[in-house]
Amino acid sequence: MRLRALLRRLALPPVAAGLAVAGLALPAQADDPAPGDVPMVLLNITDAVTVIDGQAKTVKFEVHNFGGAEAKDVVIGFANGLEPVPADIGFVPPAGCSAAACEIDKLAAGERRGYTLTVRPDVSSTTNLTSYFDVTSTVGGEETDKVQVQVVRTTESGVDIEVAGVKDMRLGRGQSADVPLTVRNTGNAPSGALGVVLLAQSGVEPILDYRNCEKDTEVEGMVCLLDEPLPAGAEAGLPASTPVRIRVGADTPGPADYYGLVGVVGLTDDYAAAFRKRNATRTGAALKLETTVSAAGITDDDVTDDLNPADNIAEFAVRVGRSEADSKAIGGAFTGTAGDLSTVKVGSQNLGPTAKVPFNSKWDDYVHVNVPTNVKLTEVDPWCLPGTAPNDLDLDGGLDSRDWVCFVLDQLPRNGKALFTFQAMIQEGAHEAGYVRVDGGPQDSRHGNDKAALTVASGDEDEVSLPITGPSAGLLAAGGAVVLVAGVIAFRMARRRRIVTVVE
């Protein structure tokens, strides 16, 4: 597998999580509360663990409330179907938990908690080399997620890189901070060349100005080549003189959480050689690891794949405080006389001074469009659904609806626009004006421009014509329920997809 393919996989969790959050704004049924107003608890855990015979293996996992409301009575369960976890797996639950469950009284909207369990299969057991147990999450007794974890015993030698967890951090605009990195080889073979990978969402920039680091343009992240092998049992960290850092942009909007990821992966000889050649003329300091725990090295040069690549990475959030972004409603006019077909483009403009925050579960960026009377809609932008607000949608409504909710999923920069197309045939009779109203959320403190008129004008007047700079129409073509399901599935599948160490 090529490194870039691996990096794309490493980039999937924060991207897919964002997609899941975006889906939360769209309710599956008109009578249900918007999912953005309810908890949504998911597990972030690998589905495969490889254990060297005679050794124990720790497994890190998280429970994350992606919803917009607090989750109460959360239980993380451990079982084998209806039975307890098999004794010969050598299961040790996370600290503070019983052998059957971890109990959480409350999990706030957006909150995630990390846990570590341990397995140590009994090598004297006659059980098959592969065993299973289930990890589930429930809220108020209702199951919200379930993962079957496969435990595989092996007698082969191998590298098993583990990266310690990284705590979430809070930074102001323009501020930077070190990202702690501790890596350990818990396998029974030495590693080859290693790559340090640092990714972050747009608005947070990795800082790795070292001669053995370069930007990977495909994933907008940094990759650093470390030539020193890590012996079996050894643990290493970064010296204070050569840290891994991130910086929040001077105009990064908030309040928002921006996800980052740091990892250590195995590199092939071919990739490492090409990397060295590309950077041979660079000078300056080099990023390097400093051993903190030593172990006797093994002379076996035939290094195998990483046994458990899921724990090669650590995810973290960077919380950025509030910034001002003034949302302005953009109105328009259907132009013509009775029988004429007319099109308007209405929506929202961000007047700044900063960009809008990314779409999230705590606030729905939307535009409420109320069309004038005596116009018959013939076509509506696929980003729009009948209703007056995200928690008041009428998914059974059609083109006869007068009120529409148009979702702004793009992160609008300063002066950026999100516009939506409405086509209608003008009817006989009086035309009571409609309106366009924006919800600027916590960033918008100026409300005098939140509403604009949507009218019908005679054919002698100039038609309002504004370029569509909003999001692509395709993603919501199938409606809110599909986006919700697709987002959740994307998150779960992305995080559980097995990450394979480079072997080419």
419 is a domain residue: yes
**pLDDT confidence of residue 98:** 95
Task: Calculate the CA dihedral of residues 420, 421, 426, 431 and round it to 10 degrees.
Answer: 10
The region of weakest confidence among 85-94, 248-257, 348-357, 485-494 is: 485-494
188, part of any domain: yes
For range 251-267, the mean pLDDT: 88
288 and 334 both lie in a single domain: no
Give the CATH number, domain containing residue 402.
2.60.40.10
3-state secondary structure 398-435: CCCCCEEEEECCCCCCCCCEEEEEEEEEECCCCCCCEE
The closest alpha carbon to 405, from 479, 333, 455, 351, belongs to 479
Cα–Cα distance measured from residue 263 to residue 274, given in angstroms and rounded to the nearest whole number: 21
CB contact set of 63 (below 8 Å; sequence gap of 6+): 41, 42, 43, 44, 74, 76, 104, 107, 112, 113, 115, 137
Between residues 491 and 51, which one has the greater pLDDT?
51
73 and 185 in one domain?
A: yes
pLDDT tens-place string over residues 323-334: 999 999 999 999
DSSP 288-331: --EEEE------------BS-GGGGEEEEEEEE----EEEEEE-
What is the amino acid identity at position 498? R
Q: Is residue 71 part of a domain?
A: yes
Decide if 503 is inside a domain.
Answer: no
The reported pLDDT for the residue numbered 133 is 94
pLDDT confidence bin for 127, thresholds 50/70/90: low
Looking at the structure, tell me whether residues 314 and 334 fall in a common domain: no
CA 12 to chain centre: 7
Under DSSP, the state recorded for 476 is G
Residue 477 is given by DSSP the state: T
pLDDT given at position 146: 93
Encoding tokens for residue 349?
A: 């403009």
Q: How confident is the model at residue 361 (pLDDT cuts 50, 70, 90)?
A: low
Residue 206: the pLDDT is: 92
Percentage above 90 pLDDT, the chain: 43
204 shares a domain with 136: yes
Whether residue 152 contacts residue 50, with contact meaning beta carbons closer than 8 Å, is answered with yes
Give me the pLDDT at residue 178, please. 94
Residue 460 has pLDDT above 60, yes or no: no
Amino acid at 463: E
Residues 89, 149: one domain?
Answer: yes
Residue 314 sits in the same domain as residue 341: no
Give the structural domain span for 329.
325-472
Number of domains in the chain: 2
501 in a structural domain: no
| pLDDT tens, position by position, 347-360 | 999 999 999 987 77
My answer on whether 44 and 98 are in the same domain is yes
What is the per-residue pLDDT across 402-419, written as a single tens digit (0 to 9) for each? Answer: 999 999 988 899 999 999
Q: Cα 119–140–75 angle (5° rounding)?
A: 15
Specify whether 10 is located in the same domain as 141.
Answer: yes
Asked whether residue 267 is assigned to any structural domain, the reply reads yes
Regarding whether 258 and 136 lie in a shared domain, the answer is: yes
Q: What is the DSSP letter of 174?
A: T
Looking at the fold, whether 366 and 430 belong to one and the same domain comes out as: yes
pLDDT at 390 over 60: yes
Least confident of 274-288, 395-409, 452-466: 452-466
Are residue 310 and residue 418 in the same domain, yes or no?
A: no
Q: Which residue has the tokens 């397995």?
A: 119
Same domain, 281 and 330: no
Strands 332-335 and 451-457: parallel
Buried (b) or exposed (e) across 212-228, using 16+ Cβ within 10 A?
bbbebeebebbbbbbee
> Could you give the CA distance from residue 74 to residue 104 in angstroms, rounded to a whole number?
5
Q: Residue 290 maps to which CATH number? A: 2.60.40.1510
Q: Supply φ then ψ for residue 165, to 5 degrees.
A: -65, 155
Does residue 391 have a pLDDT over 90? no
Per-residue pLDDT averaged across 433-443, rounded?
Answer: 94
Instruction: Kindly state whether residue 504 falls inside one of the protein's structural domains.
Output: no
Q: How confident is the model at residue 456 (pLDDT cuts 50, 70, 90)?
A: very high
Confidence of residue 494 (pLDDT cuts 50, 70, 90): very low
Reported as a pLDDT band with limits 50, 70 and 90, residue 501 is very low
Q: Is residue 19 part of a domain?
A: yes
Condensed to tens digits (0 to 9), the pLDDT of residues 144-199 reads 999 999 999 888 888 888 898 899 999 999 999 999 999 999 888 888 888 898 98
